[in-house]
Amino acid sequence: MSLITRLHHASLVASDLAASRAFYEGVLELQVNPTRPKFAYDGVWYDIGEQMIHLLVVPNPDAGAVRPAHGGIDRHTALLVDKLDELAARLEQAGVPYSLSKSGRRALFCRDPEGNALEFIEQPI
């Protein structure tokens, strides 16, 4: 049996917190968790079920790096969605480019304003 029982949170770098919040709260409709601790740097926590995403306003160690166009061949955070077509429409409306999964699964990849790759996998409820 593994000592690791589940994922608690994923941290993503965000140099422009306003742009990142507009994406995560406006486009993805994530809710801020106001009970999380404050740190010496700015940031925000989002609840995703029992897990969280933590945006960190810190210097980006990958600034200037060339990332692959398709997030599936880059490090990425994978999230489950129940309506992939609805998410795709929201991304299109917001002008956020995305690519479909190369595996044939009902999934798509996009990047947040900082360039962090996100995968959305359809798992209807």
Cα separation, 113 vs 15, whole angstroms: 9
- Walk along the chain (125 residues) and give the pLDDT tens digit of each residue: 789 888 999 999 999 999 999 999 999 999 999 998 889 999 999 999 999 999 999 998 888 889 998 999 999 999 999 999 999 999 999 999 999 998 989 999 999 999 999 999 999 76
Does domain 9-59+66-122 fall under CATH 3.60.20.10? My reply is: no
Shortest CA distance to 63 belongs to which of 118, 6, 13, 124?
13
Cα separation, 125 vs 120, whole angstroms: 14
Domain extent listing, the chain: 9-59+66-122
Regarding pTM above 0.75, the answer is yes
